[in-house]
Structure 1
Amino acid sequence: MDGSAVQISSCGRNEARSLWLRQRVAILRNNPNFCQASFEYAHGIVGVFEGQYMANKVMANAARQVICMAIAAMHYGRDEVHHGASISNLQHVTTELGLCSKSTTAATVNLLENIGHVTRVKDEADHRSHLIEPTGQLVSVLHDIIAVCLSAADRLFPLRRYRALLDSSSGFLERYFATSLHSLFDIEPLIIEDRRSRLFATSDSGEMLLCKLMAGRTERDQNVVSLPFDEIGHLYGVSRTHIRRLMKKAETEGMVRLIDAGGRHIELLPPLKEVFNNIVASHIAKVQFDIHLANEDYDLLPAELCA
């Protein structure tokens, strides 16, 4: 077994970690400030992705998001044994999680390279192979997403000042990436195990569009929002038809009710809010886990991982 395989195997599903993340999701959702945190999360994600065609292209669905996160994790977590991200170990991650095929993983890496978000370099330990390294562009996108999660975490736990860590000069982001592969194998299945959550997670720009729906709520009417398919499609780099099909599927699943044609008025039903809250809590739980692991701050983590 080569170093890359060892790295992936050591980050496979861990019972203690998985249990902690599930329990953490429940704790977060019971926090009295969770509703406000999730609302701010929705606005934060809209701010990161709305009108940003390239960012949307990079993070279009769960598979691409995982590939991008895994590239950063393997790159910053490399050592004498683990040399970084390769096509083969990225393919292992996506197939292990059931997100996409090996060919789709390879095609995604090609896309990321073509738009300047990754680069290939010779593996000094094996000149027959290339490693996939993140560029500043990819790190910038990941930084912005992590910042949204940290801001939401600060709303829930203001005394911990999570967001301030990201702007510190202590190499926090690199440490964060280096440890983030550990929780990836547990949190992604948690998000997509529910059919309704999977609908948004695996659809192109699905999670961004879900955040747009949830951010559209107002004090006057918390349940009816506007999502005009033509205008929104342009902002998120997807077609009107794609959004219409996504909303039709969501309606079939009992998550929304399409009041007017073209997305002018959409009623948000309780199951959609449940899906959204689980996705937000899952992302915050992952960020909390990775932060505490990166900083060797073990007060919240399972004892089995702190030995």
Structure 2
Amino acid sequence: MEQAEIERLVGGPPRLSLAEIGDHPRISEAREVFLDRLLGLYSGDPHTVRLLIESGRFLVYHIAGVLDAGVDPARRETWLTITRLKQEMSRFGLASDRHIDGLIARLCSTGFLDLKPAEQDRRVRILKPTEKLKAHDRDWLAAHVAPLAVLYPEHDYRSVMDRDPQFHSLYRRISIGVLPLAASLLLSLPDTMLFFNHAAGAVVQAELLRAAMRAPDHPAAAVPYADVGKRFGVSLTHVRQLLIAAEAASLVRLHARGGRRVEILPRQWASYDRGMAVGMYLHDLVYVATERASRGAGAGQPTVVR
């Protein structure tokens, strides 16, 4: 996405650049806050971890929520059909049509999505995020904006941190325009994708980094595979294979069996902070655009987001 297109989407120049976020002197403090918020969101809930924390599963839930916020019943092209969801998923190239069908069925069976005939045309089936999904998404967004509030306390992120439903709905509607940029930036982060492409990978990585940040033997930490697997609803073997893959990518060094001593290598710290900065950059872009759209609507001007 060109800079001019980003400015058109946001309604002016971005407030923050990716470089200044990534180079912020308090980035390690922001990282600790983010790890705490992310693990707080999923700890003690292995069912939700298994259901949502993997690239394909997460994107089905996330993109469905974004597209639903932009639905206009009078405009068929905005309807959240399975076909439209698959079209947006194809930007990320992370799941096959058959895989997406299975994920949708699972999300419907667990109360995160509904699939019903459209009122305007009963031949067309429409996906609809439930309040359960929306509430989780508000919590998820607050966790991801929290590090921005650490780095930039002069900016007001209360509407997301307070989980304002109206602001959240508009935020997600505006997020539709950012999907191409988000896909491009996410796929440019191979180390992030290594964890993201494994079930529970993102929270296993978060637990590993937080343990290392707090360990007396920093940057090494003890993360017993069996304990971590039980906590996040995956097997000991799954955790071990994930960390073996991370070691092959020069992200960690395994010094003892069973996760008793895992050393975090410099590349892992740098790549995690890069991925976190990308997320913060995207969230601030959308936050600023949402604030501007809210002010425009409050002044009696129509809010149009395409």
> Is TM (by shorter chain) over 0.5?
yes
Q: Deviations over 1:2-51 (max 9, x none)?
A: xxxxxxxxxxxx32357999x83322111122110011101111111122
Partner of 1:15: 2
- The answer on whether the counterparts of 1:77 and 1:178 sit within 8 Å (CA) in structure 2 is yes
Report the secondary structure of 2:126's partner residue: strand
Separation in structure 1 between the aligned mates of residue 184 and residue 232 of structure 2, nearest angstrom: 25
Find runs of 4+ consecutive structure 1 residues off by over 6 angstroms.
Answer: 18-21
Aligned partner of 1:205 in structure 2 is 200
Query: Any gaps of 5 or more consecutive residues in structure 2?
Result: 8-12, 295-303
Aligned pairs, how many? 287
Query: Could you tell me how far apart the structure 1 residues matched to 2:290 and 2:139 are?
Result: 18
The residue that corresponds to 1:26 in the other structure is 19
Structure 2 CA distance, aligned partners of 1:171 and 1:229? 41
Could you say which residue in structure 2 is the equivalent of 1:91? 86
CA contact (8 A) 1:228 1:262 kept: yes
Q: How far did 1:83 drift? A: 4.2
Match status 1:247 vs 2:243:
yes
Tell me if 1:137 matches 2:124.
Answer: no
- Closer, same or farther: CA 221–161 of 1 in aligned 2, 3 Å: farther
Query: Equivalents in 2 of 1:253, 1:155: separation in Å?
Result: 30
From 50, 56, 73, the equivalent of 1:63 is: 56
Q: Aligned residue for 1:280?
A: 276
CA shift at 1:188, angstroms? 3.2
CA RMSD of aligned residues (A): 2.4
CA contact (8 A) 1:227 1:265 kept: yes
Matched, 1:78 2:74: no
What is the CA–CA distance in structure 1 between the aligned matches of 2:91 and 2:186, rounded to whole Å?
Answer: 15
Shift of 1:276: 1.0
Alignment check: 8 A CA contact 1:154 1:162 kept: yes
One-letter identity of the residue aligned with 1:276:
Y
Corresponding letter in the other structure for 1:108: L
Q: Is the 8 A contact 2:46 2:232 kept in 1?
A: yes
- Which amino acid is the alignment partner of residue 54 of structure 1? H
1:128-184: CA deviation from partner (whole Å, max 9, x where unpaired): 111111112111221111111221110011111213444265711111111112222
Residues in 2 aligned to 1:252 and 1:18: alpha-carbon distance in whole angstroms: 37
Task: Compute the TM-score of the two structures, normalised by the length of structure 2.
Answer: 0.86
Contact 2:255 2:263 in 1 (8 A): yes
Q: Which of 182, 192, 216 is equivalent to 2:177?
A: 182
Change over 3 Å in CA distance of 1:63–1:185 after alignment to 2? farther
Equivalent in the alignment of 1:5: none
Q: Which residue of 1 aligns with 2:166?
A: 171
Counterpart-to-counterpart distance in 1, 2:163 and 2:279: 22
Identify which range, 161-170 or 27-36, moves more after superposition.
161-170
Correspondence list, 1:95-110, <5 A: 95-110=90-105
Pair 1:18–1:256, CA change in 2 (3 A): farther
The equivalent residue for 1:161 is 156
Paired letter, 1:27: E
Instruction: In structure 1, list runs of 5 or more residues that go unmatched.
Output: 1-13, 299-304
Opposite residue 269 of structure 1, the aligned amino acid is L
Question: Is the deviation greater in 170-179 or in 114-123?
Answer: 170-179
| Contact map agreement 1:25 1:278 (CA 8 A) in 2 | no
| 2:93 alignment partner, SS class | coil
1:113-124 alignment, distance < 5 Å: 113-124=108-119
User: 1:238, 1:170 → 2: CA distance?
Assistant: 33
Match of 1:218 in 2: 214
Structure 1 match to 2:42: 49
C-alpha distance in 2 between matches for 1:116 and 1:126: 24
Supply the distance in 1 between the matched residues of 2:170 and 2:293 (Cα, whole angstroms): 13
- The CA deviation at 1:185 is 2.2
